[in-house]
């Protein structure tokens, strides 16, 4: 096979019309497993394929790209760095984005390798070209450049190269091209900062972080919205959250929520501010966040009972996140009647809003009512039961009605609420007291699609796994549930066909 590929490469030299030979070579390299291909092509001269990229013929470019993508993937990153660095660098300047992405992907492999990365770091011009690709028109190329530079910054040598020398100025020059490019650089900086406190220190000392924070209060509303997304990503890491708290940024964002009431354009960035605190609450402590920044929960409640569909959706998602753990449930319960009003509104949205909002409301309610067996204290069981009863005057009938509607997303979301209740004794009692509920659960004709079958199976499984189901449901119903579970979600009853002699 090595002879075959070497022969096909030789045939390509000097051809004016190489398409047929390229097709044959593509077939050959795709037919060999990667580990064997690496041994086969190692040492072969690939310059001829790279040279054939210099054309306006789209098919020729695609064939060369496919061949090189396969061959280069099979080669060790050290070999790529030592033997093909110049060709990859030329690829970054190619007018076709396919070639740029091919080159960037392979450079990404090189910078991930602890030995090969030095070859890239020693070539400042090559790194400049990677940075330059962040400023290109195509987002696909820019994304690959961000990925490669982010990998390069995984080491101290990479951080030093990017932030301690001439490349820093070049990165800032590229950043100044446009608003779009500026935010691509912020994306890179946030990605690097999230790796470790040391990485964050490099980015902060280079003034990128402070510049990003400054965007939060800029005059451009859309820029603010993008900035808060970036800051929220930075807060995903513990050291990122600590930095934001120490710098007073969390206080600043809380003040922005309060100030949003008097800003007619706050609808553009307010959802981002709320999502920021929602993320903080679930990663750290719902109680601490809600107590230290009361404007957050107050705004979530206002959004939930308001009229703006966008705000309602964000509020529903946030309430679901907050109420998904015990501490969050207790925080919400402490608000008393305010949260009872929100629950009634969630029920109203689940019945009467657009399908998207109905689903988001049902999903949030499912998270609020779910209580794992190991956390089922008397107080918490009383809490979830009271929330369920607050949804409407007849919550079981309401949810059963939604779960039988011919819309899979609504059907499955309503079943998730029942699944959340299924391990709790009060939930089981409500189910057995609802006429026809057990029959509905074991009826395989409802919800014919896979998602619905899976959702119903999860409900049955939750009931069977609970220690109190047999007592509350009774043995007959419990055995029906166990049979359903044993048969699995996709069981189909076989129908025998009997032929009667003499029948027409």
56-104: per-residue pLDDT in tens? 999 999 999 999 999 999 999 999 999 899 999 999 999 999 999 999 9
Please, which pLDDT band fits residue 444 given cuts at 50, 70 and 90? confident
* pLDDT tens profile 97-122: 999 999 999 999 999 998 899 999 99
The structure tokens listed for 248 are 């007073």
User: pLDDT digit string (tens) for 281-290?
Assistant: 988 889 999 9
Task: Name the range with the highest mean pLDDT among 14-23, 187-196, 260-269.
Answer: 187-196
Percent of the chain exceeding pLDDT 70 equals 97
Q: For 111-166, what is each residue's pLDDT tens digit?
A: 999 889 999 999 999 999 999 999 988 899 999 999 999 999 999 999 999 999 89
CB–CB of 69/102 below 8 Å? yes
- At 307 the pLDDT is 92
* Closest of 390, 392, 316 to residue 354, by C-alpha: 316
Give the separation between CA 382 and CA 472, rounded to whole angstroms: 18
Q: At what angle do helices 475-487 and 450-465 cross, to 10 degrees?
A: 130
Closest CA to 89 of 44, 55, 120: 120
- Crossing angle for the helix pair 197-205 and 208-215, to the nearest 10 degrees: 80
What average pLDDT does range 422-445 have in this prediction? 91
CA angle 260, 266, 268 (to 5 degrees): 150
97: its two tokens: 């984005």
**What confidence score (pLDDT) does residue 503 get?**
44
More confident residue, 408 or 367: 367
For residue 128 the two structure tokens come to 């400049």
Confidence of residue 443 (pLDDT cuts 50, 70, 90): confident
Mean pLDDT, range 395-400, rounded to an integer? 92
Confidence of residue 416 (pLDDT cuts 50, 70, 90): very high
pLDDT in tens, 198-237: 999 999 999 999 999 999 888 888 888 899 999 999 999 9
Average model confidence (pLDDT) across the chain: 90
* Residue 165, helix vs strand vs coil: coil
């Amino acid at each position: 096979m090595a002879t075959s590929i070497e022969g096909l490469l030789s045939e390509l030299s000097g051809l004016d019309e190489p398409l047929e030979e390229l097709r044959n070579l593509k077939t050959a390299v795709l037919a060999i497993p990667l580990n064997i291909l690496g041994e086969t092509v190692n040492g072969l001269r690939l310059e001829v394929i790279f040279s054939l990229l210099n054309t306006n013929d789209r098919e020729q470019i695609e064939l060369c790209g496919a061949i090189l993508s396969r061959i280069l993937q099979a080669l060790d990153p050290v070999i790529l760095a030592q033997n093909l660095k110049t060709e990859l660098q030329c690829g970054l300047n190619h007018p076709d984005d396919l070639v740029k992405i091919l080159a960037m992907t392979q450079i990404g492999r090189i910078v991930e390798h602890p030995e090969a990365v030095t070859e890239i770091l020693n070539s400042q011009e090559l790194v400049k070209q990677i940075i330059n690709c962040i400023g290109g028109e195509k987002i696909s190329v820019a994304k690959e450049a961000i990925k490669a530079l982010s990998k390069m910054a995984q080491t101290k040598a990479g951080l030093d190269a990017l932030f301690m020398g001439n490349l820093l100025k070049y990165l800032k020059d590229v950043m100044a091209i446009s608003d779009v490019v500026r935010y691509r650089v912020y994306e890179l900086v946030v990605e690097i900062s999230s790796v470790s406190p040391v990485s964050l220190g490099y980015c902060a000392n280079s003034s990128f972080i402070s510049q990003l924070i400054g965007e939060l209060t800029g005059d451009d509303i859309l820029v603010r919205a993008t900035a808060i997304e970036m800051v929220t990503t930075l807060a995903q890491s513990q050291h990122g959250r600590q930095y934001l708290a120490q710098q007073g940024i969390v206080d600043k964002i809380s003040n922005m929520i309060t100030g949003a009431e008097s800003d007619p354009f706050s609808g553009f960035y307010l959802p981002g501010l709320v999502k920021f605190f929602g993320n903080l609450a679930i990663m750290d402590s719902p109680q601490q966040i809600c107590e230290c920044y009361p404007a957050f929960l107050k705004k979530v409640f206002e959004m939930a009972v308001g009229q703006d569909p966008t705000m309602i959706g964000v509020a529903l998602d946030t309430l679901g996140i907050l109420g998904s753990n015990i501490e969050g449930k207790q925080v919400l319960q402490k608000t008393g009647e305010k949260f009872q009003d929100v629950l009634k509104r969630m029920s109203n949205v689940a019945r009467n809003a657009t399908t998207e909002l109905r689903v988001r409301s049902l999903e949030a309610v499912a998270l609020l009512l779910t209580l794992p067996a190991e956390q089922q204290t008397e107080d918490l069981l009383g809490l979830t039961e009271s929330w369920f009863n607050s949804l409407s005057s007849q919550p079981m009938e309401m949810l059963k009605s939604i779960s039988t509607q011919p819309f899979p997303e609504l059907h499955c979301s309503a079943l998730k609420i029942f699944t959340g209740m299924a391990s709790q004794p009060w939930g089981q009692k409500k189910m057995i007291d609802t006429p026809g509920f057990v029959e509905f659960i074991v009826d395989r004709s409802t919800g014919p699609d896979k998602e619905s079958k899976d959702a119903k199976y999860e409900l049955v499984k939750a009931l069977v796994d609970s220690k109190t189901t047999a007592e509350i449901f009774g043995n007959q119903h419990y055995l029906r549930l166990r049979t359903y579970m044993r048969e699995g979600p996709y069981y189909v009853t076989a129908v025998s066909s009997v032929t009667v002699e003499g029948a027409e």
